[in-house]
Amino acid sequence: MKSFHILLIISVVFFSCQTSEKKIENSPQQSEIQKDTIQKAEKSKQSLVLTSDALQLVDQITGSSNELPFGTPENQLIEIINNATQSKVVSIGVNTECGAGRLKMVTLSNSLTLVYQENNTKSAEPKTHWLFEGWSIDGTKEGVQKLTTMAGIGIGSTLAEIQSGYEIEVKKTSLGLEFSTASGLFGILDGTGKDAKIIHLWAGVSCNFR
């Protein structure tokens, strides 16, 4: 009889422990902590937006933006973009034959090429030798990511879509069928009709030979 009582007590204690553990696992407090962690992770997501005189980082949750204007030192710009978008540098080159002078081209894993111009002013800080003065996207390369302006215009956008968002001028040049906006956005189309698509897009200082 005593053995039966002991077994009964042990069973009750074991059941109570299991119940307590389940309550801890499913506690509202823990759920709230998990939700908070997810929300913080979501808040860190930012999109890179193209403009005619800068790049912008736009928070996908709040919609707030941070402008990265032309004139930003090279090291600062790369660090900000890498931290916000997890894009990496895939190639770096210097072109000495551009009409604008020596230009450094830094291409990122998101297919965006950042164009830097030499800073001719004397500075005690050597890291500010190159300044961000332009960007370009070559849509003919493989793996091009969809980067757009605030109006949704980017590689693959049609002439009709461009005209619905901007006043543009279209003309035939040595580069192809080229379009431009009054604000300074430029691009090349793959045809002449309304369905013609953007295959190259740029703004600011460039190294295009016409």
Q: What are phi and psi of 189, to 5 degrees?
A: -105, 155
Of the chain, the end-to-end C-alpha distance in Å amounts to 103
HSE toward the beta carbon, residue 127, CA cutoff 13 A: 8
Give the residue ranges of the chain where pLDDT is below 50: 1-31, 33-43
Q: What is the pLDDT of residues 123-173, one digit of tens each?
A: 555 555 899 999 999 988 776 778 999 999 999 999 999 999 999 999 999
At residue 125, the pLDDT reads 57
The DSSP-derived string for 138-157 is: ETTSTT----EETTS-BTT-
pTM for this model (two decimals): 0.74
Residue ranges per domain, the chain?
Answer: 46-204
At residue 191, the pLDDT reads 93
At residue 105, the pLDDT reads 95
What is the Cα–Cα distance from 198 to 185, expressed in whole angstroms? 12
At residue 129, the pLDDT reads 84
